[in-house]
Amino acid sequence: MNRKKLLTCLILTSLSFSSTHALAESKSKQSEKTAYTYQKMFQGKDYVKTELIIKFSKELDKKDKSILKTFFNLVNIKPIGKNFYVVSFSDETNLPKLVNKLYDNRIVEYVEPNYKIQKEYIPSEPLYKKQWFHSKINTPLAWDTTKGASDVVVAVIDGGVDGKHPELKGKLYKPYDAVDGDSTYYPDDHGTHVAGIIGASFNSVGVAGIAPNAKIMPINVFYGATTTAEEISSALFYAADQGADVINMSLGSYYYSKVIDDAVAYARSKGTIVVAAAGNDHVDEKTYPAAYNGVFGVSATNNTDRAAYFSNYGSYVDYAAPGEDIYSTIAYGKYGYMSGTSMASPVVTGTIALMLSKNPFLTEAQVDAVLKKSTVDLYTAGRDDLSGYGRIDASLAVKNTPAALSITTLSAKELVINGLNSITASYKAYIGSSVSVVVKDAKGKIVKTISKNVKGTDKQVNVSWDGRIDNGSYADSGSYKIIVTAVKGSAARTKETSFTVKNQLKPSISLEKTTIYYSPKVLRAAAVPIKLNKTQLVTAKIFDAKGAHVKNIISNKLLLGGSQTIGWNGKYSSGKQVPDGNYLMRIDSIDANNQKADRKTATIIVDSKAPLLKSAAISPSVYKAGKSITAVSKFTTNEASKVMIYVVNNNGQKIRTLASKMSLKSGTHTQSWDGITQSKTYAKAGKYRFVFESTDVAGNKSITQSNWISLQK
C-alpha cells in the first residue's frame, strides 16, 4: 500500500550579508543558482509564513549567524542537517523578495519556503477508487493515526455476513444467528455490504473498510426479508453481553417497540454505543431503532454533500454520512454498489471504531461530544433535521479524540548506572483508567515494576528508574523499554519507549550469612547465600583454619545479579571428606568492565557430631496417680541446640509435649511434669518417662530417654 507522508516539512534557509562581509558576491551568478523562479516557489503553495530553509555551501560560524540575525532581524537559526538551516522571523516577511536578496550571496546554494506537506495513507486495494466516500470523510488522514484495533469489536445486527469473503475472512468474532440461536447462517448481500464498509481488510485485494483492523461480530436477525422485535432485541442483548463496543443497525421500522427500546437501554448500560440508519422514504417521521433514546441516528448524503434523495430526516437524526452509490463487499466473495441510510450508518460506526481504537476508554457521551465537533456543517449552522450535527469527518473525529495514553518525554536515551543516576519517563493517561509501568529487557522479560494500578490523569505523571531491578540488583548493560499500560474494564492501551543501559556501577558482593553451620550427615552441601548488585564473574575457594587451600568451588562463573547460592560438599578436591572444624569460603568477582568487587569471606563450621544430652534422670521415681505431681528431670547439653521434650507411656505413646523446639545453650537444665496429659486429664496409673530430641545448629540430631517413673493407685 502506498504511503504519502503527511509531514510538515520545513527547511528554513535565509541569508543576506553586508557588502563588507567576505560572503558577498555579485548578481552575475544569481541566475546560475535559481533553478526555478520565485513565483513557482510560492504561488499556490502552503508554507510557513515566517520561515525559510537555506542550504549553504559551508557550515555557518558564529560571525555568519550574527550577521544574519542582525541584517534580517531573525528570531532563530536552526541547523537541520549538513549545511541546511531553518531561519525564523518574528512576523510575516516578504519571503519572495528576501529570496532574491539571498541569492546574491556566494555561499547560498539555494533557498526554499518551508512547505507544509500533508501525509495521506492511500490503500492499495484495486477497487478503492470506486469508494468515493473515503475521500469525502477523509479516512486516509484518519488512517495515518489508526486503522482500527483488533480489540475493538463492532457488532453488525443485519443479515448474515459472508465470513469467507476475502475482505472479511479471519475478522469475524463470535458470530450469532438470532433467528435460530446458533452461530450458523446464510450469507446476505446487505449484511456483508455493511460489514465491508466498516471493516474490509487492507489486503491489496478489493476494497477498504473504514476500520480495517477492527473485529466484526456478525449477528443475523433476518429470515428472508423480515425480522421481528424478538430477533433484534435478542441480538442487542447478545452483542452487549459478548463485549461489542459498537453496534450498527442498518434496519428500521416506523413502529416503536418497548422491547427493543429496553434492549437498546441494556446495551448502552453495558457501555456499548448504538448506531442506526434513519430510513429511506424521504419523510420526516421517526424511524426505529434510530429514534430510540441514546441511539446515533444517521441520515445519508451524496457525493456533493447534499442530503440523499431517499434519506429520511427529522429531530432524531444526529449525524449524516455518505450513503449513495457506496461500493463495498457483497455475499459470496463479490463486490457491488448499494445506496441507503443502511450504507451511511456503518460509515459513522466505522468512524467510531477508529475513535475507540485510539481511546477505548471513551464513554458514549464522550464519543458524541467528539463527533459533534468533528463534522462538516451542511445546512443550518449547528444542528438541522436533514444532517443532524453535520456530515461526519473521520479525520477530524480521530484528531479530536483524546489519546488514551501517551508517553510525552523520556529524560535520556541512555541510563548510565552508577548508583546516582536515574531515567525519567513522563506519560499522560485518560482519566478513569488504571496505569501500570514496567521495564522490560531485550528478551521481553519484566525486570522492574515501577508502579502498579495508579489512577489515570490528564496531567503529566513522571516515573523514574535508577536501574535497580525487582530482585534488588542492577540491570545489565543492554537495551530496555519502559512499558506504560492503561486499563479500564476490559480495554487496555500500551505505549513504550526504548533506551539503553550502561552499567558502570562497581560490582559488590554481600553475604546474607557470615557463618554457616554444616553437617555432611544432614545435607549434601553447605549453602552460602550471597547477593550480587549486578551480573558478575564469580570465583569461590575454600581454605581451612590455617589458611591452607582445600578446594576451588567455582572459577569465573557468570552469575546474574540478585540472590545466588554457592554450595560446598564438605570435601577436598580429591573427594575425601574434610574433618570437622572451621573453614573459610573466599569469594571474589569481576564485572564486564573489569571492575573488581571487594572480597567477601564466609565461615563454614563443619560439624558432623550429634548433640549430647545426658544425666536426664527423674527423681523421685514413684508418684501417686490421679493427682498433681512434680516430676523433675535434671539434664545437661554439650552445645547450643533446639530440644523437644515429651512424655511417653510404657507402650511408647506420646501423652504430653512438655517443650517444642526449645532453644537451649550448653549447660545444665531442668524440666518438670505435673502428671497432666495433653487432653488435660490426670495420667492413669502406669510407667512413664521423658524423651529428649535434640537438634544442633548444623542439623545433627540425638534422642535421649530418662529413667522410668511409676504412677501408682
Which residues are the active-site residues?
158, 190, 342
Local structure of residue 187 (DSSP, 8 states): -
Q: For strand 273-277 and strand 654-664, is the pairing parallel, antiparallel, or unpaired? A: unpaired
Q: Contact, 146 vs 121, CB < 8 A?
A: no
Provide φ and ψ at 500, rounded to 5°: -115, 155
Residue with cell 542492577: 474
| Cβ atoms < 10 Å from Cβ of 665 | 9
Cell of 167: 475482505
Q: Which residues contact 638 (CB under 8 A, 6 or more apart)?
A: 611, 612, 613, 666
DSSP E strands in 150-278: the ranges are 153-158, 176-177, 215-220, 246-249, 273-277
Local structure of residue 579 (DSSP, 8 states): P
- DSSP string covering 300-344: EE-TTSSB-TT---STTEEEEEE-SSEEEEETTTEEEEE-SHHHH
Q: Which residues contact 35 (CB under 8 A, 6 or more apart)?
A: 110
Q: Which residues contact 379 (CB under 8 A, 6 or more apart)?
A: 386, 387
Local structure of residue 456 (DSSP, 8 states): P
State the Cα–Cα distance between residues 243 and 270, nearest whole angstrom: 8
CA proximity to 550, closest of 540, 542, 558? 542
**Coil, strand or helix: which one is 112?**
strand
- DSSP string covering 459-500: S-EEEEE-SB-TTSSBPPSEEEEEEEEEEETTEEEEEEEEEE
461 bridge partner residues: 427
- DSSP string covering 593-615: T-PBPPPEEEEEEE--SPP-EE-
Provide φ and ψ at 323, rounded to 5°: -145, 5
Cell of 107: 555561499
